[in-house]
Amino acid sequence: MEDAGADWLHIDVMDGLFVPNLTLGAPVIKCLRPSSKLPFDVHLMIENPIRYIGDFARAGADIISFHLEAKSDPRETIDAIHAAGCRAAVAIKPNTCARAVLPLLDVVDMILVMTVEPGFGGQKFMADMMHKITRLRKACDETGREIDIQVDGGITPETIAVAAQAGANVFVAGSAVFSAPDAAEMVRQLRTAASDA
Ligand code: ZN
C-alpha cells in the first residue's frame, strides 16, 4: 500500500447506528495492517465504542478516536484505550460545544473537531468550527500537556491553512487526496499549506 507521504492512515469506522453508513470493522483493519508501516488512526463513528476497543487495538490501531456523543462513558473509554496500549482521542460533531471536552483534557491525547457532519465523504468544510479549535488550542496549551487537535472533513490546500491558523496540528484529508491525479503531490501541497499558515 502506497502511503503518498502521509504521516498516519486515518480509517473511518461506521456502524450504521451512530451514523447511517456502514463501513468496515476490526477484521478489515487487521488485514490492512501488514500492508503499511504508518500509524493507524482509527476514527470510531460507532454507538458503543468501549465494547470494541480491544478488538481495534488487537487489529493494529495505534490511535483510537471515539465520539463524545456516543453512548460509552468518555473517561472509561479513554482508560480502556490507554490500557490497550493506544493513544486516545475524543471526537466532537459540529453541534457539540468545545466546552464539552474540557473535563477530559487531563487524560486525552488528541481532540478531533469534525468540520463536516460525520458519516459521509465529500462534504464542504465548515469554517464556523474554527472558534472551537481556537478555544481548545488555548485550553490545551494551558494544561501543559501535549494534546493534538485534529480536523476531519473538507480539508483542501485552502481549508487546511484556515484550520492550522486556528490551532489545529493534525489534518485528515480524504477526497482531496483520493481524487487528486497525484496523491503524493497533493499531500505535499497540503503539508506546505499547513506549515506556511
Ligand atoms: Zn474520520
| For ion ligand 1, residues whose CB falls within 5 Å | 12, 43, 152
- pLDDT tens for each residue of 126-175: 999 999 999 999 999 999 999 999 999 999 999 999 999 999 999 999 99
Task: For residue 70, give the amino acid letter.
Answer: A
Q: Which of 12, 15, 41, 109 is catalytic?
A: 12
Please, is 66 exposed, middle or buried when counting C-beta atoms within 10 Å of its C-beta (0-12, 13-18, 19+)?
buried
- Closest alpha carbon to 96 in 78, 71, 113, 73: 113
Do residues 150 and 132 make contact, with C-beta atoms less than 8 angstroms apart?
Answer: no
Backbone angles phi, psi at 129, to 5 degrees: -85, -5
Tell the residue number behind the cell numbers 488512526, with chain if given: 41
- pLDDT tens for each residue of 77-101: 999 999 999 999 999 999 999 999 9
Q: Is 15 a catalytic residue?
A: no
